[in-house]
Amino acid sequence: MEGLSRKEVELISWLEFYEKYFFTSEDVDKFAKNKTQRYNTIRNLLKKKRIVKLNRKKYYLVPIKAKSGGWSEDAFVLADEIFDGEGYYIAGWSAANYWRLTEQIPMRTEVHTTKRQGEMRVMNTPFIFRRTTRARVAQAVTQEVKGHPFKVMNKEEMEKWMRLRD
């Protein structure tokens, strides 16, 4: 693992002190003189695996207590942060497990969204994105895990989905 510069340690310390593990590039502006320095700081931290890019403007800070750089965050919290809390819901086997409709722990987290489709791996957590409609997203319910809200398919819809799998 590469060493951190003074400015990078200052930024990481500030983010950890204020518990801003999910942050934007605007938060880095306080420590950079201009856009180029901000870009280079973010790029270097990405290269050193101290931060993880979640979407165009949001990053996740790997805590300093993760000595080897390996860290894990709850998949439901990651999904909510990737989509900034809107236009998505957790579905499939992950939602079935959340509602205790199955005892199997899913290997991947299925996220239905209006924005993207495909697969993505964030901090060793595999995500599958499937496209859906705004009406289906509106039917999702908001729940909470570790004090963080996220959207999940409602229990009645999940029970119907499970019956189709039998």
Q: Does residue 100 sit within a domain?
A: yes
Instruction: Write out pLDDT tens, residues 87-118.
Output: 999 999 999 999 999 988 899 999 999 988 89
Q: Are residues 37 and 94 in the same domain?
A: no
Q: For residue range 111-152, list pLDDT tens digits in order.
A: 999 988 899 888 888 999 999 999 999 999 999 988 889 999
Task: Tell me if 67 is assigned to some domain.
Answer: no
Regarding whether 154 and 84 lie in a shared domain, the answer is yes
Range of the domain at 125: 75-165
φ, ψ of residue 59 in degrees (nearest 5):
-130, 160
Phi, psi angles (nearest 5°) of residue 58: -115, 140
Give yes or no: residues 56 and 127 share one domain.
no
- If asked whether residues 104 and 155 sit together in one domain, one would say yes
Of 13-17, 63-67, 120-124, highest mean pLDDT: 13-17
Residue 66 is assigned to a structural domain of this protein: no
**Beta bridge mates, 91:** 110
Residue 136: inside a domain: yes
My answer on whether 22 and 54 are in the same domain is: yes
Same-domain check for residues 137 and 57 = no
Domain boundary among 20, 37, 61: 61
CA-CA distances (angstroms) from residue 39 to 24, 49, 55, 139, 146? 12, 15, 15, 39, 31
Listed ranges 2-6, 49-53, 96-100, 103-107; the one with the highest mean pLDDT: 96-100
As a whole number of angstroms, the distance between CA 31 and CA 8 comes to 9
Look at residue 68 and tell me if it is in a domain: no
| Whole-angstrom distance, CA of residue 89 vs CA of residue 138 | 9
Residues 10 and 47 reside in one and the same domain: yes
Q: Note whether 53 and 118 are same-domain residues.
A: no
Regarding whether 157 and 133 lie in a shared domain, the answer is yes
Is 1 part of a structural domain of the chain? no
Measured distance CA(109)–CA(127) in Å, rounded:
5
Residues 89 and 138 in one domain: yes
DSSP label of 103: -
Residue 84 and residue 28 in one domain: no
Structural domains in the chain (count)? 2
